[in-house]
Amino acid sequence: MRKITFLLVFFLLAGVNFAFAQTRTITGKVTSSQDGMGIPGATVLIKGTTIGTTTSIEGNYEIEVQPNHRTLVFRYVGMSTQEIPIGDQSNINIVLEPDVLQMDEVVVTALGISKERKALGYSVQEVSSENLTRSGSSNLSSALQGKLSGVEIKPSSGMPGASSQIIIRGARSFSGNNTPLYVVDGMPISSTSDFSTGNSVTGADIANRAVDIDPNDIESINVLKGQAAAALYGIRASNGVIIITTKSGKGNKTGKPEISFSNFTSFEQVSRAPDYQTKYAQGSYGMNIPNTSFSWGPEISKLPDDPTYGGNSQGHPGMYFVPQRDQAGLDPWVKPQVYDNYGDFFNTGYTTTTSLNISQATEKGNIAFGIGNSIQDGIVPSTGMDRWNAKAAGETKLNNFWSMGFSANYSRTSIDKLPAANDASLAGVYSAPPNYDLAGTPYNIPTDPYKQIYYRSLTFDNPYWGAAHNKFTESTDRFFGNGFVEYSPYISENMTLKTRYQLGTDSYTSHYQDIFEYGHKGSIGELNNYGVSSQTVNSLLTVNYNWKINSDFNFTALVGNELYHRNRKLYDEYGTGFNFGGWAHMSNAKIQQADESQYQDRTVGFFGNLALDFRNMLFLNITGRQDYVSTMPRDNNSFFYPSVSLGFIITELESLRDLPVLSYAKVRVSYAEVGQAGEYYPNFFSAPNYGGGFWGATPIQYPINGISSYLSNNVQYDPNLKPQNTQSYELGTELKFFSNRLGIDYSYSNQLVTDQIFQVPVAASTGAAALVMNGGEIKTDVHEIMLYATPVIYQGFQWDFNVNFSKINNMVNELAPGVESIFLGGFVTPQVRAGIGSTFPVIYGSSFERDASGNILVVDNPGAWNHGMPVDGAPGVIGEVSPDFILGFSNRFDYKGIALTATLDWKSGGQMYSGSNGLLDLYGVSSLSGDREETFVFEGVKPDGTPNDIVRGGPNDPDAYQDLLTNVLTNIDEYYIYDNSFVKLREVTLSYAIPKRLLNNVQLTVSLYARNILLWTELPNFDPESSQGNNNMGGSFERFSMPQTTSYGFGVNLNF
Amino acid sequence: MKMNTIIKFLAVPVLLMVMAGCSKDKLEEINENKNNPVDLPSRLLVTDAITKTAFSITGSDFAFYASVYTEHNVGIYNQMYNAEIRSGEPSLATTYNNTWGSVYETLYNLKIIINKTSEDGNEAGNFHTLGIAQVLTAYNLAILTDLMGDVPYEEALQPGEIFQPKLDKQEDLYNEVFSLLDAGIANLGKESTAASLGGQDFLYGGNADKWTQFAYGLKARYTARLAFRNGGKWADVITFANQSFTSAANEAKFVYDGSTTNSPFQTFFIDRDYFGASTSLHNKLVDRNDPRDATFFIPYPGKDDVEFAPNGSPDQVQGFYGISGIMSPTAPTYLLSYHEIEFLKAEAYARQGGVSADAETAFLNGLEAAFAKVGMELDSTYVVDEALRLFTANPLKEVMVQKYLSFFESEAVEAYNDIRRMKAMGENFITLDNPNNATKFPLRFTYGADDVTTNLNIADAYGNGSYIYTEKVWWAGGTR
């Protein structure tokens, strides 16, 4: 130990001495080739060191160099970097050329290894801070929409903290995790929720843990899409990696602290309102029934004529009797009127995001501190989010050989939500009878706030009552971060050795509370408190050796070890039935139940990487990793995963250099194999569960009068479980034209995923419901194109655009033997499933009965109520969710500090189950159901094969149309399937950077923006990006789901 | 030297620590399941086998749908409405899937209990628990085959080994039912080495004699069930029935406390509200001036009058039709009621010799118990003017009709079985009014979707589901 201290002191002193020796000053000016003006803020760096400075407002610089410093590097965003030998010069002026695609761009790859982009044999895409935050999104996944190729981002709604799915190059697992690994400043962190929404037909959404990340603190995001790119992460690499680098002050001008402050404030509105019929009142078959969910009643204007409730015959001419008003103690007689129940319910939400970042670079390193807050108030009453982020990071050189650093992040996130689907708080908003004044009629009787007044039976709560009394909250306190030491001894002129040890943690506690208050659904309510405390430790040791063999060859080797260990403790307290309303607490519950679970898991990996470069032209990279995993059976818990990639820059060939049009061309090819572990346990017994099916709550609740019981867990485990395997290869090319003004990056990748681990549903007659085993095969073909262009640069005006195109064909080839499809979520029918021969996932449910050629069959039975109507046929695949392609198109127009950017997102193809659309028809409130007095011929064929010509409906057949919608189509899930292609203006931003000289060297940027403007969609009535589920069923299944929003806002950004 | 330092002080300790941290023993220790036991005594398993048998299998979905088909209730909303108008639900594989799963889950747990308590098990000598598990296995197997016909049994209940069990013939399954009951009776008669189940047995508190009576009662029920196939072993029915319950005190009745356990029909009303008062049942009661009419039906809460729903064509509207008056959070589920035993006996005597003292005694015992079930005393006017008058005119018919009435509403599955058996025997004592029955009387329940989608044997048997309108089960004259 003393030795080390001695060494440390020695090196430290040596370094200091060295620093004072023989310095001299170089000055100069950096100008732009475009306008000849000085470039302020350009970086001037001494090559091979972290010593540097930035240019002044006029473009001037001054830097002190020592004799061993040989080269100066000049860098500026958007300009090509230049390296100038110092020699004897004391004044170096330099003219920088614009560079759309920087040749020497450095990207962060697996395990934080920085590599030149040109050296990569696989696709990596970067999103810069500026691209991420220009429209003030407080949510990382929505900030990424439209900006990545090969990545599908599916938000569940526009609610504060809403979950979303990010899937890179299609799904690999049926029911397991398909989301990428998130790595923040070198530390893998948890991004998924500890609680799945399960079947996703009850309760509220549950946020993903990626919600804790503040996009404003992100310096850059690198997305490792393919398995070859991610292979060094081993068993956790199969879904790709999102590498986040936070703002650390690195690259700042040395000496002076930089302070940046920003505030974005936006206002949200519901993105779309359905078209309603406004002619017919509540009721059924033309009869006014004031407590039905249907609006198949009489014409609203004729309500006063109703024999029971009409006022014309009861001394209230022109009025009708509303029993709910009577219950509320109001005058029950009202004039018929049409209400905008949908519009009345939604508020204007707002989001305000503020962040402050202070950073400083010194000669020895850098330090940063940041604090951020995001407050959101949802468009649905009593929803919102409040998030605080604080972070500190720093890095310092201890001497020439040793350095150390840390990154520490704290977040606190609180979200208020409301439930959907079977518990939908919006059911009554979406489907209220047009003649019922939902907003204006009190939602409880005057004497008891917990006795609801509602227009229909309390299968759902009155939405206003629900917003006032039910509560769905979650809150998370989280810390993640790491510290590292790095040792890079001097070996020789052409060799470097860097040893780095990093220890990190990700630790959080989340508490959830789901409260259905006393009076919920006319009953006595329930509450569920649950939560998790999770601690992860990550230890990472890497040794990196670089040998510049000669002018042609460069060799790099890396070996390392990673240990990942996680402890989790979950609790669940469930209380059924309150004694009285107003005290929604466990102590007020008649039946109280508690459960806990504890989990541990560990992954240990040993890995190596060999890289050989030839003449900056050929780049070969080979990796291997051996993983040991605790969550697999004892005799089958270690696995080896290799990858190999090759990059070839064709334009480095002698004969192809300096071509007039083609400035850069590269091809790359890679192959990788990675796995994904399962969660194995020896078979066990568990407590019986009586929820689900027809039951709203759990009708049987152990312990029963002190007696407990258990049963064999109906999910069993295959003792021969092995990890699921992904074999993938990727081919790609990068081409740049016209001095890099136009660039294209194309990748084709193919993944074959076999031996998926999932709960294979087995025939119930086997005695188990499912067996956790290997089975299945998914094959994915992905075409990705990134296109960059700068079509116009003229006198300070610049137009850039880029296109991100993804075509992902994610096909399920096989499931386990005998299994045609597996359940991912939904109702008894319809469901979201993975099905053989279909893309992933599909919607499964009852279909229209069809003839052999696929025509819809109608009943030909004159006199029958369903004469001329279709019937429900066998259940099967009724919809494919995955789109044909996704295209993001971003434009940026710059003129002297004024920038206009716009990102369009186009999803073509794909379908979803839109329960709300179908139910609006069923309930008779949709505009389609307003055509009820007209005759119709249902498109189809009669059993004899002739086209259907049976005319139903019209004045002499008044019940037919209601029968069709409420008795026939409502049972045919296929009727609820809609194409949901869309084009959205994801964001449009107009910003102006007020010149520093006007504001005493303060850089002030102001911006106006709008987000998520739905321009066009095939889906009627609703925004297609509103659905159920925080898991693999996300984006496919909608039923009274929380809506999407459109935002309009403004931002201020101050830098000084 | 520098390299040595770094290796000595950083790399070596880290690597050593990590190597120790990924040994097979260490990883297995980390993966130890702290949340669930891998083995349990049988007494902790038998409790839920009883509860599931009562609540999930006997008392819930099967009974709800059967109550629609037998016209005890009218389905007025959603799935029950569809069942009422015979659209979708009766022929869909998803309809009974949850209960299909519950039956096999329960059978599997009973198999574990039987294995544990049998000769080679770790609780050998625990004869009473073994006998109880055998009786419950027989009971569940019979319910399953009564409703679905041929079902997997021989190859079933071997998870991870046989993935697609083959179907067994109903005739063979009934042989198994009887041999299980006989074995159960034998084991219940032995001296058990284990302590009594006591409170773990929600049905009988571990009382072997009561379980034996239950087993004999089941033998009576199932012997009568096979009447069309076995030519009517009515003497056996009487013998078995005589060894069963002698009063309602010992009947196989699962009682709910209304808080931790809730009666299925009541919970179904609260959670779903899919039933309306049946015109057909109402008419049958009114025709015979039956005082139970006022008990069976009450107005929808908040309404003044009972609106009866027309069978087969109600309006799909909630909050309008009257509802069952015998629902309550504590209304029990009958696995086998005392009144059923008496009516079985009465039927057997009536089939043996028409009007007889024995038949009449059993009939009146059954009737009295049926009234007591719904909290009423049998009034003599009704007995004399209606019940006995009708009994004398046609004893068999009146026994079967009274039995049908006594089953309202939680015993609807047994009513459904009787109706199908009587149809096979050419007897049409109970008229059903649903006009859809002309073409669409469900002759059976569909197999569960969990098997239809994963077991080709079941998928073949299920086809498109329309067989349920055309194919009777074996004991009702069909082939499968």
SS3 annotation, chain B: CHHHHHHHHHHHHHHHHHHHCCCHHHHHHHCCCCCCCCCCCCHHHHHHHHHHHHHHHHCCHHHHHHHHHCCCEEECCHHHHHHHCCCCHHHCCCCCHHHHHHHHHHHHHHHHHHHHHCCCCCCCCCHHHHHHHHHHHHHHHHHHHHHHCCEECCCCCCCCCCCCCCEECHHHHHHHHHHHHHHHHHHHCCCCCCCCCHHHCCCCCCCHHHHHHHHHHHHHHHHHHCHHHHCCCHHHHHHHHHCCCCCHHHCEEECCCCCCECCHHHHHHHHCCCEEEEHHHHHHHHHCCCCCHHHHEECCCCCCCCCCECCCCCCCCCCCCCEECCCCCCCCEEEECHHHHHHHHHHHHHHHHCCCHHHHHHHHHHHHHHHHHCCCCCCHHHHHHHHHHHHHHCHHHHHHHHHHHHCCCCCHHHHHHHHHHHHHCCCCCCCCCCCCHHHHCCCCCCCCHHHHCCCHHHHHHHCCCHHHHCCCCHHHCCCC
Residue B314 located in a structural domain = no
B12/A contact by beta carbon, under 8 A: no
- Compare A11 and B72 and report the one with higher pLDDT: B72
Residues in chain B: 480
Write out pLDDT tens, residues A833-874: 998 999 999 999 999 999 999 999 999 999 889 999 999 888
**How many angstroms away from the CA of A814 is the closest CA of chain B?**
13
Of A264-273, A685-694, B440-449, the least confident: A685-694
Non-local (6+) Cβ contacts of B72 within 8 A are: B66, B278, B281, B407, B408, B409, B412, B415
Q: What is the pTM of this model?
A: 0.82
Burial of A551 (0-12, 13-18, 19+ CB in 10 A): exposed
CA nearest neighbour of A418 among A351, A352, A477, A463: A463
Query: What are the backbone angles phi and psi of residue B50, rounded to the nearest 5°?
Result: -70, -50
Q: Please check whether residue B384 lies inside any domain of the structure.
A: yes
Specify the pLDDT at position A853: 92
Mean pLDDT over residues A592-609, rounded? 94
The chain A residue lying nearest B261, using CA atoms, is A700
Q: Is B24–A634 a contact, with Cβ atoms under 8 angstroms apart?
A: yes
| B64 interaction partners in chain A (CB closer than 8 Å) | 694
pLDDT score at B290: 96
Taking CB atoms and an 8 Å limit, are B30 and A705 in contact across chains? no
What is residue A386's predicted lDDT score, i.e. its pLDDT? 97
Q: What is the ipTM of this complex?
A: 0.93
Q: Which two tokens stand for residue B359?
A: 């038949």
Options 3.40.50.300, 2.60.40.10, 1.10.3720.10, 2.40.50.140; CATH of A22-96: 2.60.40.10
Q: Look up residue A771 and give its amino acid.
A: L
B107 at interface of A, judged by CB pairs closer than 8 A: yes
Contact B454 A820 (CB under 8 A): yes
Q: What CA–CA distance (Å, rounded) separates A671 from A880?
A: 30
So what CATH class is A187-269+348-425+470-688+726-841+881-910+981-1055?
Answer: mainly beta
Over its C-alpha atoms, chain B yields an Rg (Å, rounded) of 26
Range with the poorest average pLDDT among A82-96, A769-783, A928-942: A82-96
A716 touches chain B (CB under 8 A): yes
**Residue B311 is assigned to a structural domain of this protein:** no
The CATH number assigned to the domain holding B431 equals: 1.25.40.390
Chain mean pLDDT for chain B: 95
What pLDDT shows up at residue B236? 97
CB-CB neighbors (< 8 A) of A697 in chain B: 271
Interface contact flag, B55 A590, Cβ < 8 Å: no
Residue A1031 pLDDT greater than 60, yes or no:
yes
Whether residue B167 is predicted with pLDDT greater than 70 in this model: the reply is yes
B 193-232 residues with CB below 8 A of A? 199-200, 202
Mean pLDDT of A165-190: 92
A217 pLDDT above the threshold of 80:
yes
Q: What is the mean pLDDT of residues B79-95?
A: 94
Count Cβ neighbours within 10 Å for each residue of A80-91 and write b for 16 or more, e otherwise.
bbeebebeeeee
Do A707 and B270 lie within an 8 Å CB cutoff? no
- Structural domain harbouring B207: 43-259+332-444+452-476
**Three-class SS state of A347:** coil
AA letter at A789: A
Does position A785 have pLDDT exceeding 60, yes or no?
yes
**Distances A181 to A191, A240, A770, B79 between C-alpha atoms, Å:** 7, 6, 28, 43
Cβ contacts of B14 on chain A, cutoff 8 Å: 501, 539, 541, 561
Answer whether B210's CB lies under 8 Å from B171's CB: no
Of the two residues B138 and A593, the one the predictor is more confident about is B138
**Angle (nearest 5°) at CA A994 between A993 and A1000:** 130
User: Which H helix or E strand runs over A131?
Assistant: helix A129-133
The span from the CA of A858 to the CA of A969, in Å, is 12
Partners of B24 on chain A (C-beta within 8 Å) are 634-635, 637
What pLDDT was estimated at residue B182? 98
- A&B contacts, CB < 8 Å: 293
- How, if at all, do strands A471-487 and A402-417 pair? antiparallel
Can you tell me the distance from the alpha carbon of A888 to that of A129, in angstroms, rounded to the nearest whole number?
Answer: 18
Count structural domains, chain B. Answer: 1
Residues A917 and A896 sit within 8 Å (Cβ to Cβ):
no
Cβ distance of A766 and B109 shorter than 8 Å: no
Residue of A766, A828, A973 for testing the chain B interface, max B β-carbons within 10 Å:
A766
Q: What is the maximal distance between C-alpha atoms in chain B? A: 114
Q: Which residues pair with B168 in a beta bridge?
A: B151
Q: Which two tokens stand for residue B147?
A: 């409703």
Question: Residue B158 is nearest to which of A634, A703, A766, comparing CB atoms?
Answer: A766
| Residues of chain B with C-beta less than 8 angstroms from the C-beta of A716 | 159-160
- Least CA distance to B197: which residue of chain A? A707
Cβ separation B453–A712 shorter than 8 A:
no
Average pLDDT, chain A: 91
CA-nearest residue of chain B to A631? B31
A967-983 mean pLDDT: 94
Searching chain A, which residue's CA lies closest to the CA of residue B2? A489
Beta strand pairing call for A365-377 and A384-397: antiparallel
Q: Residue B111 and residue A767: Cβ atoms within 8 Å?
A: yes
Instruction: Say what the pLDDT of residue A17 is.
Output: 39
- Give the residue with greater pLDDT, A646 vs A56: A646
Q: Do A762 and B273 touch (CB under 8 A)?
A: no
Residue B373 lies in a domain: yes
The pLDDT tens digits for B18-41 are 777 788 899 999 999 999 999 999
CB contact under 8 A, B202 and A704: yes
Which chain A positions have a beta carbon within 8 Å of B270's beta carbon? 522-523, 696
- What residues have CB less than 8 Å from A79, skipping those under 6 apart? A32, A39, A42, A96, A97, A98, A99
Q: In the structure, what pLDDT confidence band is assigned to residue B1 with cuts at 50, 70 and 90?
A: very low
pLDDT in tens, B41-70: 999 999 999 999 999 999 999 999 999 999
Burial degree of B209 (CB within 10 A; 0-12, 13-18, 19+) = exposed
Closest chain B residue to A959 measured between Cα atoms? Answer: B315
Q: Given a cut of 60, is residue A18 above it in pLDDT?
A: no
Q: Give residue A593's pLDDT band: very low, low, confident or very high (50, 70, 90).
A: confident
- Can you tell me the distance from the alpha carbon of A926 to that of A978, in angstroms, rounded to the nearest whole number? 15
Query: Residue B10: its pLDDT value, please?
Result: 63
Chain B contact present for A681, CB below 8 A: yes
Can you name the residues that pair with A202 across neighbouring β-strands? none
On the question of pLDDT at A14 being above 70, the answer is no
3-state SS, residue A587: helix
Do the chains contact at A709 and B44, CB–CB below 8 Å?
yes
Average pLDDT on B468-480 reads 97
One-letter amino acid for residue A329 of the chain: G
Q: Which amino acid is at A1013?
A: I
What pLDDT score was predicted for residue A1?
Answer: 41
What lies within 8 Å, CB to CB, of A752 at 6+ separation is A726, A727, A728, A777, A778, A779
Query: CA A526 to CA A590: how far, in whole Å?
Result: 9
Going from N- to C-terminal start, the domains of chain A cover: 22-96, 187-269+348-425+470-688+726-841+881-910+981-1055
- Predicted confidence (pLDDT) at residue B6 exceeds the cutoff of 60: no
Tell me: pLDDT of B439 over 80. yes
| Distance of alpha carbon A410 from alpha carbon A392, whole angstroms | 9
Query: Which has the minimum average pLDDT: A92-101, A145-154, A283-292, A608-617?
Result: A92-101
- A305 or B16, which is more confident? A305
* Confidence category of residue B7, pLDDT binned at 50, 70, 90: low
Q: What is the dihedral of CA A180, A182, A187, A190, to 10 degrees?
A: -90
> Considering the domain boundaries, does residue B157 fall inside one?
yes
Under an 8 A CB cutoff, do B92 and A846 touch? yes
Asked if the C-beta of B301 comes within 8 angstroms of chain A's C-beta atoms, the answer is: no
- The reply to whether residue B35 touches residue A872, judged by beta carbons under 8 angstroms, is no
Cα gap B44→B28, rounded to integer Å: 28
The sheet carrying A872-880 orders its strands as A821-826, A831-835, A842-848, A872-880
